[in-house]
A and B are shown apart, each in its own frame.
Chain A
Amino acid sequence: MAYAYLFKYIIIGDTGVGKSCLLLQFTDKRFQPVHDLTIGVEFGARMITIDGKQIKLQIWDTAGQESFRSITRSYYRGAAGALLVYDITRRDTFNHLTTWLEDARQHSNSNMVIMLIGNKSDLESRREVKKEEGEAFAREHGLIFMETSAKTASNVEEAFINTAKEIYEKIQEGVFDINNEANGIKIGPQHAASNATLAGNQGGQQAGGGCC
């Protein structure tokens, strides 16, 4: 399908915070409570519309386990956006954000938009990290912030789309050099076209799920 832009996203964060579930919810609109441990990268893709332009999100879901961390670092290359995910019911996943952020900053381009996500917001009774703490961390480090639930789909669309909006705004402002592929943005064949307004989304494509 023709698109105006392609944005590469990377999803990072500790193991078990729900990275793959977020991807599956966003691309397939379904929740899978048990998910195999991610090794390497699982890819997902979906078209969205921003400012009347078709934008393809190419999403790289990475392994969160410490033992695969060195490999994950190599996937930051050319990412325009990152979803940094923690689990609101596990304080340790929040405590590790600084390390993830350092990694992301060090191995990605400086303009990469980072969305901080506190996932599993449906598990309010088990909450260990207050929403205010997430907001404060995001504010301090210049990130966007949302709490989501991959299970109920709460804010999942918004998390992906708002990140894209931020990237799109940076393009409009000239912050991103769209001719430099290292920025994780590719211009598609449909770049010139389109008049419709506002963000929305259109049916998607697959994500790494079911089969191998």
Chain B
Amino acid sequence: GASPCPAAHHFSSTRPAPEGCMAGCRRFHASSGCSLFLADDPASGVHLGVEGGILCQLLRSPDYNLFPKSAVFESNFIQVTKQGNWVDIHNAPTLVTLGVTSSEPCLPLPNVLLIARLAVLGESPLGRADQPQEPSMALSRLLPLRYVRLSVQDSSRRLLRVQVVTGKVYYLRLHQAHPDAVFMLWSRLADILQRGLSITTKDPAIHVPHSLVLSVGSSSTSSPAQVRRLGVGFITPGLRRQLTWGSGARERDRMPWGPLSVPTCQGLGCPGGPLSVPMCQGPGGRWGPSLFPHAGDCPGGPLHPLVLWDL
């Protein structure tokens, strides 16, 4: 079953995290289906520096203990002006780590943006376990993604644009230590967050049984709400595999955000058990995971009020 990343150690900013934490994260992602990357290579996210990084460790440290069962996608950026220049008046780079995660692991898309500041830059800003020097980090902001618009400002300069609902805009240039593949992931994420995702039976790339409603022996008179929930249960293991990263290049291209891989939602987060993906009818009337699903949509009834984050 899924178990949280056992980052039981006190987060020490200057020391590298024990390998155990990383390994725990990998195990968790691999077993829960929450991995952001290829199912057969759950460590690839770690090697790219976007999974199991310092922000993930910080969130799971005893100091914060936030989102312990959710995958965290993170990268390091330099805050710049729209033109790509450093914003710091002392002409020094302002390093930030940007991360997205879900307040509940059962949500198909991330709903939380995290911003942390790298206080001291070590030689390895990627937070990889195999490199000893890591920067210290201070969490500075937590933003519900529904109040943020993430977009690509300039892909050639690997520049992201982050606009908060208040109108404030930040420009972030992906740190040079990250490969271009990481910027591609951010681009895809921005695209998905803006446009949403939907799964339709008309898409030949996804093998779906003819009826999404009938195969569980449910009544044909189910209310729309019932159908909506029951529909979740029709995601077969085969379909789940296809929706998971690594099931084929085409699926990967379309679905860069792994949690669409139907996380199993075990433990406190989702009493409804496996396959409890909140679904909703998209703007076009198609069934699919909602872009910003309310955590209350979690099948299996309301969660513990202290666990349920109304994001």
Residues of A at under 8 Å CB distance from B? 6, 36-37, 39-43, 45, 56, 58, 70-71, 73-74, 77-78, 107, 181-182, 186, 188-189, 205-206, 208, 211-212
Contacts and interface: CB of A to CB of B under 8 A. Distances in A.
Given A74-B311, A77-B306, A212-B96, 6 more contacts: A42-B141, A43-B140, A58-B63, A74-B308, A182-B306, A189-B10
Interface string B128-155: 0000000000111111100100000000
Interface stretch (B16-24, B165-173, B177-185, B208-216): B165-173
A73 B311 CA distance: 10
Contacts of B96: 211-212
Given A36-B166, A211-B79, A211-B117, A41 B310 contact: no
A189 B96 CA distance: 28
Closest CB pairs A-B (n = 7):
A40-B143, A212-B170, A41-B142, A74-B309, A37-B166, A208-B140, A211-B94
A39 B311 contact: no
B140 A42 contact: yes
A39 B63 contact: no
B85 interface: no
Interface of B: 10, 62-65, 79, 87, 94, 96, 103, 115, 117, 119, 138-144, 147, 162, 164-166, 168, 170, 172, 305-306, 308-311
A36 B168 contact: yes
A210 B115 CA distance: 13
B15 to A, nearest CB: 12
A43 B138 contact: yes
Given A36-B168, A181-B65, A206 B138 contact: yes
Contact of A208 (B65, B141, B309): B141
Contact of B310 (A6, A70, A205): A70
A45 B63 CA distance: 11
B117 A41 contact: no
Contacts of A58: 63-64
A160 B267 CA distance: 36
Nearest to B311: A71
B302 to A, nearest CB: 14
A39 B164 contact: yes
A107 B307 CA distance: 11
18 contacts: A6-B62, A36-B168, A39-B165, A39-B166, A42-B140, A56-B63, A58-B64, A71-B311, A73-B310, A74-B103, A107-B305, A206-B119, A211-B79, A211-B117, A211-B140, A212-B79, A212-B141, A212-B170
SS class, residues of chain A in contact with chain B: mixed
Contacts of B170: 211-212
Nearest to A42: B141
Q: Which of B96, B165, B305, B306 has the most CB of A within 10 A?
A: B306
B147 A39 contact: yes
B310 A39 contact: no
Contacts of B115: 212
Contact of B147 (A40, A73, A182): A40
Contacts of B138: 43, 45, 205-206
A171 B147 CA distance: 38
Nearest to B139: A43
A203 B203 CA distance: 59
Contacts of A78: 306
A53 B168 CA distance: 40
Nearest to B172: A212
A13 to B, nearest CB: 18
B144 A71 contact: yes
A74 B112 CA distance: 13
Given A45-B138, A211-B117, A212-B170, A39 B10 contact: no
Most chain A beta carbons < 10 A, residue from B141, B166, B170: B141
Nearest to B61: A186
Nearest to A206: B138
A1 B10 CA distance: 10
Contacts of A36: 166, 168
B162 A40 contact: no
A158 to B, nearest CB: 25
Contacts of B64: 58
Counting chain B CB atoms within 10 Å of each CB, which of A40, A182, A208 scores highest?
A40
B63 A6 contact: yes
A37 B141 CA distance: 13
A40 B145 CA distance: 9
A186 B144 CA distance: 26
Contacts of B144: 39-40, 71
A186 B10 CA distance: 11
A40 B309 CA distance: 12
Contacts of B94: 211
